[in-house]
Structure 1
């Protein structure tokens, strides 16, 4: 553990200079709080010595880390060891420690956006070498078994093997640390569709909005049976909503402009964290903090790793195809979800190709190829008609089918022509036709709190969601 430095008194009013802004990745909450805090640089330095350090197989950034993508593995440990944690019992007799919550956070190279992917603890995966005893053959178990077997380092190894995404930093927080940070923030607002009372979990909240702290906050993010559908998936979605609310609280101007409160939150956050050895330097922490201070709640996307239910309806299998889209977006540093396609009229595409029937008109030599390309892109070809090619490719449509026409126009690179006498969407192939673009991205509403879906839904940190 790094040597603690003397705790400084909270600073007085700022002098005639603008406070420099830095973002400290709090990485707290059982689901971890990744929050933006405006705070003086020397505050960060004075508290750095309180952060615990653990060895982990992280991947080093290159020679210019401020302009490279950044991947941080956030873990909430359910260990009962440590001050304040033993009151939670022996966790059904296991007595060990597991990562009750794991989030892989990707920060883009331009520091304009972040993607946080929750990894289900009940995911059935092949265990990494670090989880195996000497001479033991590979076996499958729950994802969070790796934390019990080898701590944060083993979980890091598993995540890198499973996703192909290099992990640059890790951060871990336990029960007590979570509660302290929430309390330092002054509590976090949550929303419930229905009132909930669970004496065992110390959870007693009305329907609607409430501010929770301490035990109530911990119960809110950990409860399963008393809230939602009782699944771990529903709990993850609730944790994401809590995290989003915490980020909004931490970036609220009322906190940013109050140095004394900022100091208190920073003091608590640093003492609650365990990070990897590569952050065991002031310069590295400062670079990380300062490089991401411009990411607001509206630029932070939450989702859950896609999965399917196993036969026991309790444990989960990874949905390899959909999950790979997420991991590849991180590896390529591309936005996820991909931005929706935009039609020639400047509007987003909202109707998927499979929901559209297209009448096709084209020159004899092009009609078969154009029809095949439309089908390959997912469109339904209703009819085919040959005629001499016009100069320009166009989509002729009745006003009632404008949304569908947008999708066809984007895919065909065609002009849009509204015709009151038209009965259907017709694609007319012109001499400028260059083929059908099969990469159509449809604009979708955020997934919201689906209470037990199969992952892959996206929400933003600036969205206020209510839990079931």
Structure 2
């Protein structure tokens, strides 16, 4: 993936001692959800009680702590926070237009969001869904336990055991405890983008992909929900059709989305704010500690100064697998540099992604903010 670095550069946030204090609840690319929810609480006036109840009812929660117990990486106390963000590709219900339901959902998109101490900068590490990894023993969604498995695709963890197995797999890969979990599904994502009035982007090349229903000429566009979903899902419309190229498009779109939210002035428009907050809270499933208006509000307030230019986005350092050219596998030594940096609350060094198959794809620079 492109090493799209923000202004944390080499300064980042200074590490404190060894453990991470457990501050109020928080998180990030769902800053969209958390920011607008906080605005509803602040601007709701006489209807705030009803809105609080309504929005609370929208939010779905999963008790990750109870599911995983004590067999997890230790908490650290350096003021940082790590959040696993997944995009679900379940084909159930309204999502079935994107393909037949084969029985279980998979994590189409996976990002580890590291919030540095002070919440002024962040790093995002995308994990290609086709990465071959060692999956730890996991409880299966339908009951029973699946033993540890080697050389399996990363996104099968979610398919097998849902959010708890996905979190356990990421913690096993990184040695970093995930403080929070947030999941967004296809239909909820589309509804949120439409409630925002679309997201402006600029494309330097035409993108045509029948599979994701995307047809864009080169130039500036304001993407609606359907088009935005097509963009973050396209594999065949740009470059070599790999998941690595798609990740670069996803990362560029997330920055454009953050710019859109920051520039909308939603707080001054209560009607729009309520609509966006309703769609945002319907779109997500979170860990149980975030699954409330108050939890999301705390996160939103902690991220008040975070802007897209202060976010570093990289892809897990990988190479194409020798056993299967359609899969990738981590570059272990370089991946270790990424995880060591995040544990220490330090910026990800450039050496960590140098030479990675995901660091420089043909999709780089194809999409940028249109605002």
Q: Cα 1:50–1:35, aligned 2, differ >3 Å: closer, same or farther? A: closer
The partner residue of 1:292 within 300, 303, 322 is 303
1:180 maps to which residue? 191
Q: What aligned pairs does 1:26-37 form with structure 2 within 5 A after superposition?
A: 27=29, 36-37=35-36
Q: CA deviation at 1:199?
A: 3.7
Q: CA deviation at 1:453?
A: 5.9
The partner residue of 2:104 within 90, 96, 103 is 96
The answer to whether residue 225 in structure 2 is matched with residue 217 in structure 1 is no
Q: CA deviation at 1:197?
A: 3.1
Q: CA deviation at 1:180?
A: 0.7
User: What is the rounded CA distance, in whole Å, between the counterparts of 1:281 and 1:174 in structure 2?
Assistant: 18
Q: CA deviation at 1:137?
A: 5.8
Provide structure 2 residue ranges, at least 5 long, that are not aligned to the other structure.
1-24, 45-50
Q: Cα 1:154–1:195, aligned 2, differ >3 Å: closer, same or farther? A: same
Q: C-alpha offsets along residues 131-171 of structure 1, whole Å, 9 cap, x if unaligned?
A: 67657463321000000000111000000010011100101
Q: TM-score, normalised by structure 2?
A: 0.77
Q: What aligned pairs does 1:160-309 form with structure 2 within 5 A after superposition?
A: 160-309=171-320
Q: How large is the RMSD of aligned CA atoms in angstroms?
A: 3.3
Q: C-alpha offsets along residues 175-201 of structure 1, whole Å, 9 cap, x if unaligned?
A: 101101111111112332322333443
Higher helix share: 2
1:116 maps to which residue? 124
Q: CA deviation at 1:26?
A: 6.8
Q: C-alpha offsets along residues 241-291 of structure 1, whole Å, 9 cap, x if unaligned?
A: 111100000011544543332222111101111011122455433322211
Q: CA deviation at 1:331?
A: 0.8
**Which structure exhibits the higher relative contact order, with contacts defined as CA atoms closer than 8 Å and separated by 6 or more residues?**
2
User: What is the rounded CA distance, in whole Å, between the counterparts of 1:157 and 1:116 in structure 2?
Assistant: 18
The answer to whether residue 366 in structure 2 is matched with residue 466 in structure 1 is yes
User: What is the rounded CA distance, in whole Å, between the counterparts of 1:278 and 1:24 in structure 2?
Assistant: 9
Provide structure 1 residue ranges, at least 5 long, that are not aligned to the other structure.
1-22, 339-440, 458-463
Q: What aligned pairs does 1:260-409 form with structure 2 within 5 A after superposition?
A: 260-311=271-322, 312-337=324-349
User: What is the rounded CA distance, in whole Å, between the counterparts of 2:173 and 2:149 in structure 1?
Assistant: 14
Contact 1:35–1:250 (CA<8 Å) still a contact in 2?
Answer: no
User: What is the rounded CA distance, in whole Å, between the counterparts of 1:240 and 1:211 in structure 2?
Assistant: 17
1:419 maps to which residue? none
Q: C-alpha offsets along residues 327-370 of structure 1, whole Å, 9 cap, x if unaligned?
A: 111111112347xxxxxxxxxxxxxxxxxxxxxxxxxxxxxxxx
Contact 2:26–2:180 (CA<8 Å) still a contact in 1?
Answer: no
Q: CA deviation at 1:73?
A: 0.6
2:358 maps to which residue? 455
Contact 1:61–1:168 (CA<8 Å) still a contact in 2?
Answer: no
User: What is the rounded CA distance, in whole Å, between the counterparts of 1:287 and 1:190 in structure 2?
Assistant: 30
